[in-house]
Structure 1
Amino acid sequence: MPAAPRSVKEMAAAEVVLAAMLLSSAAVAAAQHDYGDALHKCILFFEGQRSGRLPPDQRVRWRRDSGLHDGAAAGVDLTGGYYDAGDNVKFGFPMAFTATLMSWGLIDFGRSFGPHKEEARKAVRWATDYLMKATARPNTVYVQVGDAFRDHACWERPEDMDTPRTVYKVDPSHPGSDVAAETAAALAAASIVFRDSDPAYSKRLLDRAVAVFAFADKHRGPYSSSLHAAVCPCYCDYSGYQDELLWGAAWLHKASRRREYREYIKRNEVVLGASDAINEFGWDNKHAGINVLISKEVLMGKDEYFQSFRVNADNFMCTLLPGISNHPQIQYSPGGLLFKVGSSNMQHVTQLSFLLLAYSNYLSHAGGRVSCGSSSASPAQLRRVAKRQVGYILGDNPLRMSYMVGYGARFPRRIHHRASSLPSVAAHPARIGCKAGAAYYASPAPNPNLLVGAVVGGPSDASDAFPDARAVFEQSEPTTYINAPLMGLLAYFSAHPNPAESGGD
């Protein structure tokens, strides 16, 4: 375990550094946010990402049915699900991760969703209904619909798309333990979400999760090797499939309480790298999430064997806290934004902030603190960092700009998103072809359709700068896995606006 704090003075000094950082960055703006409104819009975004036949209660009215023949070429129904970002491809790996994180937010902070809980459940179900179709055939997971290269060469509405809707799958001859285990995790997590509201559906989800995980474990291998030309570089799994197997087992244990999954983690934690000090979390790498998820068992006094996961979770949290760690995992901009080098930085902001909040919740219930060598951090400190990041997204930043479309007075108007940037079918009934959309892509005009609730990639470095430009997709493109963890964060802060409050739901 990490060493205990050496002195109260050192602990106090670390807290002062963290508080000073939060206060200085918060000075750029001090708005009182309507977290409930932001939560409503965050969930609404997913309706703009829907594929398939839209339901009568569809609220994003400028969208229409699309992808109604998806899967037909392979003799399977793969209609429905979500487009991952601003294109028209359905990528199973990030879609499953999106469903897992939406479910985790509902599981941990369900009561905080208040009147938005049912719409959040619907957002989860739109994904899991699709994942059930994608796993309907034994020992097979359909993991992608659409040719990414052909799709990305066009700028057209999903309602008009005429690029190949090629279907890709993993099976015993073409393994994909990573995407299959993530799919199992999504189905298992969602089974908890629907346990009370729809027990029959919950059971079907859990039964399917068990079968899909067994397939993932028996036929081991990365889907990037089996389907390299199709899934790389968009969603190539660079971290290997081992973390997804542990992640899937952890969610199956949480959902089923079956001892076999606890024993699986014990038996495989070394060979699958559970002890690896990898401080990452996202659609590709689940290590930090595994440690936080399993740590709850330790903190609640249910399983002392997994103490090493709690140690890893503590170490990870320390790397996120400014002024606490000598080896920070991330950096903070002058305006207070957490950032990692690369594109679509807001995915790191929302995903890591969610882990901070979830872990603070577990610590609060257990009366614990984060041990960081010669210092420590309270659950309230973790919550303050998470809330500061949410505030930055909603407008507490040097540009005084909300990075959520439709929230606040100033927000991105030229997001990298085909359906949003092209005239709606209602406004322009005639088809807009593959290359005909280029004029709209290059136009400096704002997008004609507001994709309300979409959170874009945002600033990508220490400058806090943001070019509101469609062509800069690294910063202007929204994704489902940016919004998914933000749902839980917004729900919590709508019910607990004071980070000093203890506990969660």
Structure 2
Amino acid sequence: MQDGIFNNMHADLVGGFYDSGNNIKFSFPTAYTISLLSWSVIEYHEKYADIGELEHVKDIIKWGTDYLLKLFVSPSSTSAYSLILYSQVGNTDNETNCWQRPEDMSYERPIYMCNSKASDILGEIIAALSAASIVFKQENVYSGELIKAAEKLYDFTVKNDTGHEQGTYTEVSACGGEARKFYNSTGYIDELVWGGTWLFFATGNNSYLEYATERFEAAEDEEAISDTGIFYWNNKLTATAVLLTRLRFFRDLGYPYESAMGSSSNRTDQLMCSYLSDEIFKKTEGGLILQSRNNDEPLEYAATASFLSKLYSDYLDLLRRSGVSCGGDGFSLTTLRSFSMSQVNYILGDNPMKMSYMVGFGDKYPTRVHHRSASITWDDHHYSCAEGDRWLYSKEPNPNVLLGALVAGPDEFDKFSDERGKPWFTEPSIASNAGLVAALVALHEAPRKSSNSTAFNLGMDQMGIFDNIYLIT
């Protein structure tokens, strides 16, 4: 509750989310989590409402955006290049040496600050605030606050004035040095394109779309080969292509965007084919797609692949298309949806281990999740760092069930070790859980009665995302 007060700093950084069973708050994956959750609500708010979860997920998003609004101090009028961005609260030294629930923390929590060079975090925050503003569009004051902050950040972040540098936050030790081993960023243009795209949807200002489409090719050039076709906290290009394809399908703005829209559409079709082909992404014997480097922690990537494939199949369904051809191959909507469902089914227990990787779901699930709060009993006793080790190394199940948490998952051979000391199997994260939430709501049955007569009862809001966009005349 004292986050933000450190040495001579007196910022208000209370709130936000701890991540990955640790007591550290990372700004980069927090913003990504809010972007992804907001997108799922924009598309499928009817489904959320039908199962009584709409206000719940909006509360989660607002908890995140309230924190994101605290993370930056805008440039002053006297210095066009001054910006303070808080990238992290807490450090790895304390996390490595102390297994302690957050209620018992008494050690110092350092604050990490960035300047304008943290273009990736800034782009992701722009995306999160913009997407969330659409979620809260019925709440004019709060939505307006989010848009105003996003536009101010955008104006500062994308300008090319002399003296203004762009780059990744993990290039600068004081900003992202501590985060490299957890959330090392390999590029920033994809976040700026992602942010510009969402800001366009939020405002209808074509200059943001112009920036996104003009920089899309540069983002492709920057993209690491190992990240091609993957949507996760470090790569937004795949998801941006899907968003631009959505725009082309349902609100085609014509000139001068045809080339970028066509390229995005082709890329999206190729993405869907890659999900279904073993030539690009291998699958385990049990059917889990392997997209990550070294095939580790695969469930986060499988979840977003499930979300995007189901979402795109719904787009095609709205267009009354039965499938798409890509090269000599192609896919049907049925095949694409089967793939999407297969990944979620695998996560929930249809796998060789017969284990649900969502904690608390099914008869068999991980019970020794790598998570401080879950692993330490709640008995009104304060446990020191030294005392916490007994819980870290205990072979007993966690005394507190971390309901709904998605763990990292099995290895490439479908094997899983339920051990607290092996986080590569048992560690959850907010980013991976956001992907699973999006996949689950996308795959959920549509409400029997839909208020959106144009969506063929798919449970989608086909046109709501375009409320602020007008055709050029």
Superposition TM-score tier, normalisation by shorter sequence: 0.7 to 0.9
Structural RMSD (CA): 2.0
Equivalent residue in structure 2 for 1:265, among 212, 236, 257: 212
Deviation at 1:460, TM superposition (A): 2.2
1:233 to 165, 181, 203: 181
The counterpart of 2:426, out of the listed 472, 476, 482, is 476
Give the secondary-structure state (helix, strand or coil) at the position aligned to 2:112.
strand
TM-score by length of 2: 0.85
State the match for 2:468 in structure 1: none
Alignment of 1:89-488 (within 5 A): 89-113=24-48, 114=50, 115-138=52-75, 139-172=83-116, 175-196=117-138, 198-218=139-159, 219-226=165-172, 227-238=175-186, 240-273=187-220, 278-304=228-254, 305=258, 306-322=261-277, 327-328=279-280, 330-340=281-291, 341-368=294-321, 369-424=323-378, 427=379, 429-461=380-412, 463-488=413-438
From the superposition, tell whether residues 354 and 102 of structure 1 become closer, same or farther in structure 2 (CA, over 3 Å).
same
Q: What is the number of residues matched between the two proteins?
A: 424
TM-aligned CA deviation for residue 290 of structure 1: 1.1
Cα offset, 1:88, TM superposition: 0.3
Kindly indicate whether the alpha-carbon contact (under 8 Å) linking 2:189 and 2:215 is maintained by their aligned counterparts in 1.
Answer: no
Any gaps of 5 or more consecutive residues in structure 2? 76-82, 160-164, 448-455, 461-473
User: Aligned in 2, Cα 1:151/1:336: closer, same or farther, shift over 3 Å?
Assistant: same
What is the Cα deviation at residue 217 of structure 1?
1.8
Per-residue deviation, 1:110: 0.9
- Equivalent residue of 1:444, what SS? coil
Cα distance, 1:258 vs structure 2: 0.8
- Residue number in structure 1 paired with 2:80: none
Q: Are 1:72 and 2:26 matched, yes or no?
A: no
Matched residues in 1 for 2:15 and 2:333: separation? 40
* SS of aligned partner of 1:269: helix
> Which segments of 5 or more consecutive residues in structure 1 lack a partner in the other structure?
1-67
The range that moved more, 158-167 or 268-277, is 268-277
Aligned-pair distance for 1:301?
A: 4.6
| Secondary structure, counterpart of 1:80 in structure 2 | coil
CA contact (8 A) 2:194 2:212 kept: no
> How far apart in 2 are the matches of 1:385 and 1:367?
20
Higher relative contact order (CA 8 A, sep 6+): 1
Percentage of pairs with the same residue: 35
Tell me if structure 2 keeps the 8 A contact 1:362–1:503: no
For the residue of structure 2 that corresponds to 1:163, the secondary structure is coil
Equivalent AA in structure 2 for residue 131 of structure 1:
L
For residues 411 and 154 of structure 2, what CA distance do their matches in structure 1 show?
Answer: 36
**Is the 2:196–2:212 Cα contact (8 Å) retained in structure 1?**
yes
Q: Secondary structure at the match of 1:204?
A: helix
After TM superposition, the score normalised by the length of structure 1 is: 0.80
Aligned partners of 1:141 and 1:371: how far apart in 2? 45
Confirm or deny: 8 A CA contact 1:243 1:286 kept in the other structure: yes
Which position in structure 1 is the counterpart of 2:469? none
Question: How far apart are 1:489 and its partner, in Å?
Answer: 2.1
1:136, CA displacement in angstroms?
4.6
Provide the rounded CA distance (Å) in 1 between the counterparts of 2:214 and 2:428. 39
Contact persistence 2:219–2:237 (CA under 8 A):
no
Q: Which deviates more, 470-479 or 365-374? A: 365-374
Structure 1 contact 364–502 (Cα < 8 Å) conserved = no
